[in-house]
Amino acid sequence: MSDQSATPDLVERLRLFFAAASRRDLDTLATFYASDAVLDLSDLGLGTYDGLDAIRAFVEDWFRSYAEYETSADEILRLGENVILTINTQIARLPGSSGSVRLHDAYVFLFEDGLIARHTAYRDIDAGRAAAERLAEERG
């Protein structure tokens, strides 16, 4: 009998997720999401995307907007069995520009069966933290 847990290390999965995003590797990013996942960017004014096809189309368009793009999770905090909060930095350069754009925000991830079921972005990090704490409490 194996001593290894069948539960994936969600923190490590998110490290790999951010690495794939920085490489703009859409195929690898898609493997992290459930087929019926929801990407909620409404707090950023960018809408909500239901299902893997809609998420992939949005992310592909997002990546295409930038000549250079890098993202990192500065902090990854597991707040419950399936709830993780990340504090992130995105740095990007628009085509034809010498300056870069920097975005510092928070993501709340809800995992089901080792896959991202819901990914919600928050412009305000404290609001993201509070949302993650509520979700973790609801999920027990």
Residue-level pLDDT at 7: 52
Tell if the pTM clears 0.95, that is, is over it.
no
**In the chain, what are the helix, strand and coil shares in percent, each to the nearest 5?**
35, 40, 25
Lowest mean pLDDT among 2-16, 84-98, 104-118: 2-16
Do 119 and 62 touch, CB atoms closer than 8 A?
Answer: no
Q: How far apart are CA 69 and CA 116, in angstroms?
A: 22
Sign of the dihedral defined by the CA atoms of residues 8, 104, 39, 43, in that order = positive
**Cα angle at 38 between 34 and 42, to 5 degrees?**
160
Over the stretch 43-88, which tens digit does the pLDDT of each residue have? 999 999 999 999 999 999 999 999 999 999 999 999 989 999 999 9
